[in-house]
Amino acid sequence: MILVTGATGQLGGSVVENLLKKVPASEVAVLVRDAAKAEHLAAQGVDVRVGSYFDKASLASALQGIDKVLLVSSNDFNDRLGQHKNVVDAAKNAGVKHILYTGIALKDINTSPLKPLFGDHFETEDYIKASGLTYTFLQNSLYFEVIPQFVGASVLETGVFFPAGEGKVAFASRQELGEITATILTTEGHENKTYPLTGSEAYSFAEIAAELSTLSGKNVPYINPEPAAFEGALKQFGLPDVIVLMSVLFAAAVKNGDFDQPSPVLENILGRKTTTLSPFLKEAFALETV
């Protein structure tokens, strides 16, 4: 039996959707905080187990009878390492054989501006290794889907305003990450492996602006502001402090080259070419080539 956590979220939801194309629903369980959000899965025969990363007792019972668990990293930064440790401990105690963890693909966390936010992904990996459980680390690239969040809905009018310099990102589509994760969960040979699940091509934000120009027929410039000016502009928009901080750190990490590690791993496991920038932007911004 395979259990997927975060199944009410976007990545976990895609993993379960793809798993159900590969194995019978009777072999799939999910951990959710709110069973009402997983009624569509229960209706298909998925074993819906209720629990929270914060609640050790709920995890102890949710992980009974599970062979493989996919731990989708929490989106709650309040002691995220502690949350993940609770799942690892419960998996070990319940006799789970193999744990897969969705971390982040970063060149070197120790030199990354994102260390304060994402150091816990690597600490989670260290904790899993020390647990003695068989592991697979799925180091996910930045999703293509974050681009609209970084550039804003009015990008065609405002231009791409993001202090990432010439830094590039080997984006991956969340849907394709879901599919590849389901493949890894249902095939052999991934024991004790670490996969950087990054796209095969990396793009700069200047290239994103250029592609938006081509697709829209408008002049969409790339503006590379000073980080302080960027931070000030986001604050002026009234964005919450945590979003401002994350945006500033992400931009600094892109500028630092932290996400510039294209790799063939996704394509090799999927057995086909992965999504590229142009079709993603076309769909995300509802553009037709002019």
Least distance from C-beta 124 to ligand NAP, angstroms? 10
Of 6 and 159, CB closest to ligand NAP: 6
Of 121 and 216, CB closest to ligand NAP: 121
Tell me which H or E stretch contains 139: strand 134-140
Q: Are 201 and 262 in contact (CB under 8 A)?
A: yes
| Cα–Cα dist 182/41, whole Å | 16
Least distance from C-beta 290 to ligand NAP, angstroms? 29
Of 163 and 196, CB closest to ligand NAP: 196
Least distance from C-beta 111 to ligand NAP, angstroms? 19
Closest by Cα among 42, 44, 37, 39 to 9: 37
Least distance from C-beta 34 to ligand NAP, angstroms? 5
Please give the backbone phi and psi of residue 180, each rounded to the nearest 5 degrees, phi first: -70, -35
Of 37 and 92, CB closest to ligand NAP: 37
The residues that touch ligand NAP, with contacts defined as CB under 6 A, are 5-6, 8-12, 33-34, 37, 52-54, 72-76, 83, 102, 140, 142-143, 146
| Cα–Cα dist 31/55, whole Å | 12
- Nearest position to ligand NAP, beta carbon: 9
| Cα–Cα dist 273/267, whole Å | 6
Least distance from C-beta 32 to ligand NAP, angstroms? 6
Q: Are 183 and 256 in contact (CB under 8 A)?
A: no
Of 52 and 213, CB closest to ligand NAP: 52
Q: What three-state secondary structure class fits 67?
A: coil
